[in-house]
Amino acid sequence: MKKNSPIHRATRKKPVSAAAVPDIADVPALDFGSAWDFAPAPESTPVAIQDRYQLFIGGKFVKPASGQYFQSINPATEQPLARIAQANAADIDNAVKAARKAYDGVWGKMSGRERGKCLFRIARMIQERSRELAILETMDGGKPIKESRDVDLPLVAAHFFYYAGWADKLDYAFPGKSARSIGVVGQIIPWNFPLMMAAWKIAPALACGNTVVLKPAETTSITAMHLAQIFQDAGLPDGVVNIITGDGKTGTALVDHPDIDKIAFTGSTEVGKKIAKALAGSGKKLTLELGGKAANIIMEDAPIDQAVEGIINGIYFNQGHVCCAGSRLLVEESIYAQVLRRLRDRMRTLRVGDPLDKNTDIGAINSREQLNRISELVDSGIEEGAELFQSPCALPGSGYWFRPSFFTGVTASHRVAREEIFGPVLSVMTFRTPAEAIERANNTCFGLSAGIWTDKGSKIFKMASQLRAGVIWANTYNKFDPTSPFGGYKESGFGREGGLHGLMPYVVLE
Ligand code: NAP
Ligand code: MG
């Protein structure tokens, strides 16, 4: 069979668990006929993209000291979208000074009630402009419009609303203690949920009275600059939030700046470790939200159709660019064939393509670099003897795409079972007892999230108490809420975002 055919069988080694479970060919396939043909429905709301985006420092849009700009492209078309300012150490120094001035002069002294009002205004303006922001998010990052419109933007506004509500109630959040702000916070975010990550970071920091210097990811900076415009329009005092765009060097310079009181980082475990080393002994506070390799566990008494939807949502949502993606599927052996057949059938109906089309399920991979990383790991899975299934869908001619895929015959030592792929690629394994499921699920250096699918509430409680993961979904997956804390154990980082817990990294309790 050819390497590009839907089912590529690796010949070097025999899949390990395949012999132990029923062949999925024994379960009849469903015939969907043409039920899934849709006419194209591209998003048609016009949006204004600037040719150039400047830095946002001290409440103003300013040119970078270097005079240099880099290109942001649309990963679905590879067409240029805008040029983004490249911030250097001098710009960061200006941004930190502006944040310090705003902290000492205005924001650090402002009453919680006034801070809350400002955050409520921002939340309302995000809602008013959410269509425009969703389109920009999709064009710059490649995620389907139905996700940016129906998931990301509502959550962005919800986070600002939620933390606006806390701003004047910190005494109730920490009864018997007095919560004091920390000062100037440096925040560094990744490209998978650009606005949502900005909201998760900025909203609690401001609610607690801190000021911020934020660095968005290089490939997805555009919406952060539109958020800056909202801050200006909402009357947020100058310098309370400063946004500096650039690459990893810009992030390093922010981490190294001596007048930063705390760094909040979301991104890869590799960069997170570098930051932890750089800050050791500096007295600066640190929170890290890093990678994951979550187990999604399907017990034999689970509602299988719902579980299959949960598996799809767990790994193919946002092209698998999700730190908490359910990227290791653990299926009880007795239902393996049934689950795999239904998963395969459902994958055939997923539409991959134009992210601006309202019917698209899976959009573009964020960058060529990320596509190369996914392809390299998938090649390693084949090399190591796992068996690859890929949805046979047509892919657009230009842009960065990866077919929804899963591996069977995976062992715990395979790279596809251990390393974060951060793409639409699932590794399927089986288990025989709940104890084995827990052991396999915990057999990872990460500990961000997990999923359990079962009819029995008692199993959910028992297993959840044994899983070493920060977030555990039961009979659902990838659901987020501003009231609920999110964060990891082990190499997935430390500190929580969301909920009451999300206030803690931004206060000193006395
Ligand atoms: P990344 O390479 O670690 O980058 C994250 C951010 O850090 C970007 O803004 C990046 O800038 C910047 N950066 C790069 N090198 C730096 C350095 N030496 N010092 C300071 N900043 C630096 O991660 P990514 O590839 O963008 O994002 C994917 C990763 O994020 C995955 O591992 C995923 O699991 C993780 N993630 C975790 C969570 C969570 O909540 N736990 C949420 C989302 C994503 P550039 O863009 O210019 O490289
Ligand atoms: Mg882009």
DSSP 29: P
Strands 69-74, 211-215: parallel, antiparallel or unpaired by DSSP?
Answer: unpaired
Distance of alpha carbon 125 from the chain centroid: 23
Note the pLDDT of residue 6: 43
Task: Tell whether 358 and 451 lie within a shared domain.
Answer: yes
Segment 32-60, tens digit of pLDDT: 555 567 788 989 888 999 999 999 999 99
Task: Please name which of 217, 195, 57 lies closest in space to residue 123, comparing C-alpha atoms.
Answer: 195
Task: Tell whether 234 and 299 lie within a shared domain.
Answer: no
Is 221 within 8 Å of 191 (Cβ atoms)? Answer: no
Share of the chain above pLDDT 90, in %: 90
Task: Tell whether 221 and 358 lie within a shared domain.
Answer: no
Ligand 1 pocket test target in 188, 244, 263, 491 with most atoms within 8 Å of CB: 188
Note the pLDDT of residue 197: 98
Domain interval for residue 309:
6-37+292-474
Note the pLDDT of residue 23: 64
Give the atom of ligand 1 at the shortest distance from the alpha carbon of 288: 41
Q: Does 50 fall in a domain?
A: no
Nearest CA to ligand 1 atom 46: 217
| Length of the chain (residues) | 510
Strand order in the sheet with 79-85: 52-53, 79-85, 69-74
Ligand 1 pocket test target in 323, 421, 489 with most atoms within 8 Å of CB: 323
Residues with CB under 5 A from ligand 2 (ion): 72, 140, 219
Is 290 within 8 Å of 272 (Cβ atoms)? Answer: yes
Task: Tell whether 404 and 257 lie within a shared domain.
Answer: no
Task: Tell whether 223 and 333 lie within a shared domain.
Answer: no
Is 422 within 8 Å of 321 (Cβ atoms)? Answer: yes
Q: Does 453 fall in a domain?
A: yes
Is 133 within 8 Å of 122 (Cβ atoms)? Answer: no
Is 219 within 8 Å of 369 (Cβ atoms)? Answer: no
Q: Does 250 fall in a domain?
A: yes
Residue 406 tokens read as 């899963």
Q: How confident is the model over 389-417, as a mean pLDDT? A: 95
Task: Tell whether 102 and 247 lie within a shared domain.
Answer: yes
281: left (phi over 0), alpha (psi -120 to 50) or beta: left
Q: Which ligand has the minimum distance to the alpha carbon of residue 191?
A: 1
Q: Which ligand has the minimum distance to the alpha carbon of residue 49?
A: 2
Q: Does 483 fall in a domain?
A: no
Segment 207-223, tens digit of pLDDT: 999 999 999 999 999 99
- Tell me: pLDDT of 464 over 50: yes
CATH number at 504 reads: 3.40.605.10
Strands 69-74, 79-85: parallel, antiparallel or unpaired by DSSP?
Answer: antiparallel
C-alpha 171 – ligand 2 centre gap (Å): 41
- Tell me: pLDDT of 20 over 60: no
d(C-alpha 109, C-alpha 124), whole Å: 24
CATH number at 411 reads: 3.40.309.10
Note the pLDDT of residue 19: 46
- Ligand 1 — pocket residues by CB below 6 A? 188-192, 215, 217-218, 247-248, 251-252, 255, 266-268, 271, 274-275, 289-292, 323, 420, 422, 448, 488, 492-493
Segment 427-452, tens digit of pLDDT: 999 999 999 999 999 999 999 999 99
Q: Does 242 fall in a domain?
A: yes
Nearest CA to ligand 1 atom 43: 323
Longest dimension (CA), the chain: 71
Task: Tell whether 277 and 310 lie within a shared domain.
Answer: no
Q: How many domains does the chain have?
A: 2
CA distances from 98 to 104, 258, 368, 390 (A): 10, 14, 36, 51
Handedness of CA 125, 167, 496, 250 (dihedral sign): positive
Backbone angles phi, psi at 195, to 5 degrees: -75, -35
Query: Average model confidence (pLDDT) for the chain?
Result: 94
Query: Could you write out the DSSP letters of every residue in 126-168?
Result: HHHTHHHHHHHHHHHH---HHHIIIIIHHHHHHHHHHHHHHTT
Residue 116 tokens read as 């809350």
- pLDDT-based confidence at 14, cuts 50/70/90? very low
Task: Tell whether 279 and 296 lie within a shared domain.
Answer: no
Task: Tell whether 219 and 368 lie within a shared domain.
Answer: no
Task: Tell whether 62 and 179 lie within a shared domain.
Answer: yes
Note the pLDDT of residue 15: 42
Task: Please name which of 80, 88, 327 lies closest in space to residue 215, comparing C-alpha atoms.
Answer: 88
Task: Tell whether 328 and 269 lie within a shared domain.
Answer: no
Q: How confident is the model over 256-278, as a mean pLDDT? A: 97
Note the pLDDT of residue 26: 64
- Tell me: pLDDT of 1 over 80: no
Segment 71-120, tens digit of pLDDT: 999 999 999 999 999 999 999 999 999 999 999 999 999 999 999 999 99
Nearest CA to ligand 1 atom 15: 248
Give the pTM: 0.94
Is 147 within 8 Å of 362 (Cβ atoms)? Answer: no
Q: Is residue 383 annotated as part of the catalytic site, yes or no?
A: no
Q: Does 48 fall in a domain?
A: no
Q: Does 482 fall in a domain?
A: no
Q: Which residues, at least 6 apart from 32, have a Cβ–Cβ distance to it below 8 Å?
A: 345, 348, 349
d(C-alpha 321, C-alpha 422), whole Å: 5
Segment 326-355, tens digit of pLDDT: 999 999 999 999 999 999 999 999 999 999
Nearest CA to ligand 1 atom 12: 248
Task: Tell whether 175 and 230 lie within a shared domain.
Answer: yes
* Catalytic residue (one of 137, 147, 289, 491): 289
Q: Which ligand has the minimum distance to the alpha carbon of residue 221?
A: 2
C-alpha 192 – ligand 1 centre gap (Å): 9
Note the pLDDT of residue 9: 43
Q: Does 448 fall in a domain?
A: yes
Nearest CA to ligand 1 atom 47: 247
Note the pLDDT of residue 39: 86
Q: Is residue 323 annotated as part of the catalytic site, yes or no?
A: yes
Half-sphere exposure of residue 361, counting CA atoms within 13 Å on the CB side?
A: 23
Segment 114-166, tens digit of pLDDT: 999 999 999 999 999 999 999 999 999 999 999 999 999 999 999 999 999 99
CA distances from 389 to 5, 9, 138, 330, 380 (A): 9, 9, 27, 17, 14
Distance of alpha carbon 310 from the chain centroid: 17
d(C-alpha 64, C-alpha 57), whole Å: 10
